[in-house]
Amino acid sequence: MNFIPRTLLRTAGLLTLALLLTTTQDQRASAAERIVAYTAYLPPLSIDKVQKGIATELMELVGEEADLEMDFRFAPWKRAQVLAENTPGSLIFTIAYSKARADRFQYIAPLIFTESAFISLDDSIDSFEQVVAAGKMVGVHLGSQRSKILKREGVEKFIEVSSAEQMATMLKAGRIDTWYTMNLRAVHIFKKMGYDSGKLVIGAPVSHGVQWLAANKSLDPKIRARLAKAISKVRRDPRFWEIVDRYSG
């Protein structure tokens, strides 16, 4: 019968213990690198987990650069903001800046810049004054900053709708006169629904937006710095415009 020296057994035991501790530490580190990122159904910026969207794909690149695994969660826009505000360490993207929101979130960096205009099917509408003077009924996305802009500019006749698809249908059916939204959203949705996007009359840009990446107030400053640095790199990456062109072409 062969006997194994105690010193070898002790060494083997210590090695096994070290391996188990290392594995456990690696698992904890891996779990710590996974981060929840909330967004809304805002095509073509963020669509859903399958179709993704411009901002969602850009956030995937940001995750690669920052060495973070993104756990994307989609919800109606107002709900997404509530979830992000109440989920420690979470992110929220495609969010516009406002003072009220800055009290609720920490803004990290701009993800993408957008233009918004009045989208119609007849005459071009190029200003807020033109909308007011003509008494146009405007459609705007529920919970967006654009409704506040309309109020600020003296536009009283507008309706807030939660779905871009519903908005496109309302425009086509004449239930609204114009749709105040991002140019690329209107074109994308019309094509998606099988409508002729060539019939859209896109007015002059009346507002410019910055779609930010923001976070819960509790986000670790080190992770915030990694994300900011990653976004800077992604904006210089050739894949950035490849992604934008794929959804807006």
User: Which of 234, 219, 220, 232 shows the shortest CA–CA distance to 91?
Assistant: 219
Q: Are 101 and 148 contacting, i.e. CB atoms less than 8 angstroms apart?
A: no
Predicted local distance difference test score (pLDDT) of residue 142: 87
pTM to 2 decimal places: 0.73
Going from the C-alpha of 57 to that of each of 148, 220, 231, the distances in angstroms are 28, 23, 12
Q: Specify whether the CB–CB gap between 145 and 98 falls below 8 A.
A: yes
User: Domains plus CATH for the chain?
Assistant: 34-113+209-248 (3.40.190.10), 115-207 (3.40.190.10)
Radius of gyration, CA atoms only, the chain: 24
Run of H or E residues at 10: helix 6-32
- The pLDDT value given to residue 174: 96
Q: Which helix (H) or strand (E) holds 210?
A: strand 207-216
d(CA 167, CA 161): 7
Residuewise pLDDT in 10s, the chain (249 residues): 444 555 544 554 544 544 554 444 444 444 448 999 999 988 999 999 999 999 999 999 999 999 999 999 999 988 999 999 999 999 999 999 999 999 999 999 999 999 999 999 999 999 999 999 999 999 999 878 899 999 999 999 999 998 899 999 999 999 999 999 999 899 999 999 999 999 999 999 999 989 999 999 999 999 999 999 999 999 999 999 999 988 876
Half-sphere exposure of 96 (CA within 13 A, CB side): 18
What is the pLDDT, as a whole number, of residue 10?
56
| pLDDT value, residue 248 | 73
SS3 string, 125-194, reads: CCCHHHHHHHCCCEEEECCCHHHHHHHHCCCCCEEEECCHHHHHHHHHHCCCCEEEEEHHHHHHHHHHCC
User: Three-state SS across 72-92?
Assistant: EEEECHHHHHHHHHHCCCCEE
Q: Helix 54-66 to helix 238-248 angle, to the nearest 10 degrees?
A: 160
Residue 184 in tokens: 């690329």
204 and 118 Cβ atoms separated by less than 8 Å: no
